Amino acid sequence: MQDWDSLILYPLLTIVVIVLYVLLLVKRHFKTKKQWFFIIQHFFFWLTLSAILNLNYNFILFTANINWKNLGILVGVSASFYATIFFIPASWITGLLTRRFWFWLSYFTIILGIILALAIPHNQTIFIICALCFGIGIASNSIWYLCFNEVYLYRTNSFLTVALLFPVVIIANFTGLNILNFLKSVNKNYEVDYYILFGLILGFILISFVCCFKLKERKEYIGAFNSQQLKLASKFSWWKVSGILVILFFVGVMREFAQGDFYNFLLAQQTWEIYQNLTYINKYLHLTQEFWWIPQIIAGILLYPVIVKKWGIRNTIFGAFTIWIIYFLVVAFTKIPELWITCQLLSVLAFGIIFVILFSLSMVWNYRVSRRPVTGCFSALNALTTFGAQFVQRAISNAQVGPFKNITLNWNLPVVTNDSYDLSHLHNLVMIIFAVCAGVCLLLMVFVFFTIKHISGEYFSRQNYNFARQILAANLTEQEYDQDVSLTEWLRKDAT
């Protein structure tokens, strides 16, 4: 069976991952129905967006009648581009009003986009409208974390919030990818796939929408801490937040080289050079997609119980950047696809660790300043670096300059089978780019060494892993906890 991995292996792996994470949530004291409704709602919301995002970079499969070489259209049909615009307004508006406002807006626009895509397929204008609708939904990303922390943890534990929800988002993306690949393997008719997939997406978002009615929001915990609580915490400064954003920017750009269009092209071309087999290339590219998600799930799970409580933030970031340096050097100076794919597991784990730490810190500072969307700025910059890097790579490819000179690539299978293609020029470029990435990692380690104590506040010390719970929730008695909602085991003063 040619597509046995897409039809059997990866669907089974998806089920195993979901079951294992459900068991982990049970172990982490998820007991009430409202907690589970939130997780189910969040999972199906991002399962919907995962399928949409995968389609967003594969629309060419369904729309051969549109000239996708027009870079303006490439921008127009990118949901990530619109999400970049909406992240900051979403965080700011919901901080003033209510978190659920943007949830309702997201559901409305996503459902509208899906209906339009089903009713008027293969239309350039409709694709742009759909991308705008989906971008509004993607912009709710950080709001989910803020809402969970406010409802279930009384704003006391940003790290635990990310540790619990980040794997849900990644598992949803992992599931969406495998559903899309399963459909493509079962049915080779892309027209039929289009309607089946959008029908499934509509079902997913409706499940999430129904669960939203169970969400109990706590308006008194939206926004910054009160003045008495702020006196007990490290003082907010945009310089501290800027330090986080500087690290995020360079990490986001390097992520696209470590796992993006350019890396896929490099892997496919090197695999072709050795094996001259398109089946091998398909398998390897599919494997890299799977490897992109699994280590990030592990990174999220380890964040609170291991990274924050045992290893320490600074030591962990140093270790992650060291792994990345080794990875970039391995890819730069070796030509073995199997070695690259193996090292990719560690590379993605390193990225995932750095990302969840930075995002958690942005949440920490978000509650220490009034009416300033810190998490919105973080998410907007993350989306901007992703979109920007991908856009530049596509622009260079369309212009047919550099490594793409005189070639036309199909980004679903980015390989040049013409033996006249000079791979040595590509290798020289890779050595330069990846050596620079390794150097940037080293510089970021120096930057972290001098700034981490400031940008991490109280959490610089491992002994303060429960600072917010001890200080900011100290005035809550056991009777004040909502037993039907909150994770009281993590809020009690004697909890560990």
pLDDT of 488 reads: 65
Mean pLDDT over each residue of the chain, to the nearest integer: 84
Using pLDDT thresholds of 50, 70 and 90, give the confidence band for residue 361: very high
Least confident interval from 79-88, 149-158, 257-266: 79-88
pLDDT digits (tens, 9 = 90+) for 173-200: 999 999 988 888 887 777 777 788 889 9
Q: Tell me: pLDDT of 90 over 70.
A: yes
Better pLDDT: 417 or 318: 318
pLDDT of 55 reads: 67
Using pLDDT thresholds of 50, 70 and 90, give the confidence band for residue 219: confident
Q: How far apart are alpha carbons 193 and 335 in whole angstroms?
A: 36
pLDDT of 63 reads: 43
Domain 32-223 class, CATH top level: mainly alpha
**Residue 182 is encoded by which pair of tokens?**
């399963």
Q: Tell me: pLDDT of 13 over 70.
A: yes
- The answer to whether the beta carbons of residues 163 and 303 sit under 8 Å apart is yes
pLDDT of 319 reads: 96
Q: Tell me: pLDDT of 482 over 70.
A: no
Q: Tell me: pLDDT of 17 over 90.
A: yes
Rounded to 10 deg, the angle between the 313-333 and 238-258 helix axes is 30
- 32-223 with 226-460+468-474: one CATH topology? yes
DSSP letter at 236? Answer: P
Q: Tell me: pLDDT of 496 over 50.
A: no
Can you give the residue ranges of every domain in the chain? Answer: 32-223, 226-460+468-474
- The answer to whether the beta carbons of residues 386 and 252 sit under 8 Å apart is yes
Using pLDDT thresholds of 50, 70 and 90, give the confidence band for residue 484: low
pLDDT of 468 reads: 66
* Token pair 């954003």: residue: 245
pLDDT digits (tens, 9 = 90+) for 400-448: 787 888 787 777 788 888 777 778 888 888 999 999 999 999 999 999 9
pLDDT of 54 reads: 75
- The answer to whether the beta carbons of residues 82 and 136 sit under 8 Å apart is yes
pLDDT of 407 reads: 80
Least confident interval from 199-203, 383-387, 464-468, 469-473: 469-473
Q: Tell me: pLDDT of 495 over 60.
A: no
Give phi and psi for 486, each to the nearest 5: -75, 155
Q: How far apart are alpha carbons 339 and 329 in whole angstroms?
A: 12
pLDDT digits (tens, 9 = 90+) for 31-88: 788 889 999 999 999 999 888 877 654 443 334 344 444 545 555 456 677 777 878 7
pLDDT of 186 reads: 84
In the chain, what percentage of residues exceed pLDDT 90?
Answer: 42
pLDDT of 157 reads: 86
Residue in 6, 40, 34, 7 with CA at minimum distance from that of residue 21: 40
C-alpha triplet 46, 34, 11: angle, nearest 5°: 40
Q: How far apart are alpha carbons 277 and 256 in whole angstroms?
A: 26
pLDDT of 188 reads: 72
pLDDT of 470 reads: 61
- Residues near 336 by Cβ (< 8 Å), separated by ≥ 6? none
pLDDT of 402 reads: 79
Mean pLDDT of the region 230-259: 91
pLDDT of 359 reads: 97
Q: How far apart are alpha carbons 198 and 48 in whole angstroms?
A: 9
pLDDT of 87 reads: 80
Which fold would CATH assign to domain 226-460+468-474? Growth Hormone; Chain: A; (1.20.1250)
Residue in 322, 351, 379, 453 with CA at minimum distance from that of residue 142: 379
Q: Tell me: pLDDT of 252 over 90.
A: yes
pLDDT of 170 reads: 96
